[in-house]
Amino acid sequence: MPKLSHYGKHGEVQMVDVSAKQVSTRTAKAHAFVKMKPRVVAAVRRLKNPKGNPLEIARIAGIAAAKRTAEWIPLCHPLPLTRIDVTATLCENGVELGSTVMATAQTGVEMEALVAVSAAALTVYDMCKALDKGMEITDIYLVEKTGGKSGDFRRDQGLRKNLPRKAPRSAKR
């Protein structure tokens, strides 16, 4: 089993030294879901939300958050991100969020992708909480990553649980 890289010989927490790592193009994709009651989904579909369009604001929040991941996660390296794409899709039972992040760097962008969907999900919650404080943020996970010494990772489709039910095409935003 590989050792945890954020711990020194005596168990002290440390930022990983990546100075000897090769620079390569790294990508990561992440997923999150905000489960909503049908009446909240309907309000979002009609854009009758008291605070505006939560899907577009969530996308912007996810992009902004990915750029600041090193401020969210104490031992993350600040990275020169070259691409951040955040999607927000209205489904029958909530909002599905996805992110794709890229960088040419010495360390991966998994945390940036996960932070992007997390911030986007929190933004959807914030924008819709006036309609229902009981919404649930679920299924935050890494979908895939490429590049770097550890190689590629793709999440097994069988591991995805509670997949959102897609809304009819006309209801997507």
Q: Answer for the pair 54, 127: CB distance below 8 angstroms, yes or no.
A: yes
Q: Which entry of 17, 126, 132, 139 is annotated as an active-site residue?
A: 126
Rounded-to-integer distance, Cα 116 and Cα 113, Å: 5
Rounded-to-integer distance, Cα 68 and Cα 47, Å: 29
Is-catalytic flag, 156? Answer: no
DSSP string, 24-59: EEEEEEEEEEEE--HHHHHHHHHT--TTS-HHHHHH
Using alpha carbons, select from 82, 70, 91 the residue that is nearest to residue 18. 70
Q: Which residue has the tokens 């990772």?
A: 153
Rounded-to-integer distance, Cα 121 and Cα 128, Å: 11
Q: Which positions are annotated as active-site residues? A: 126
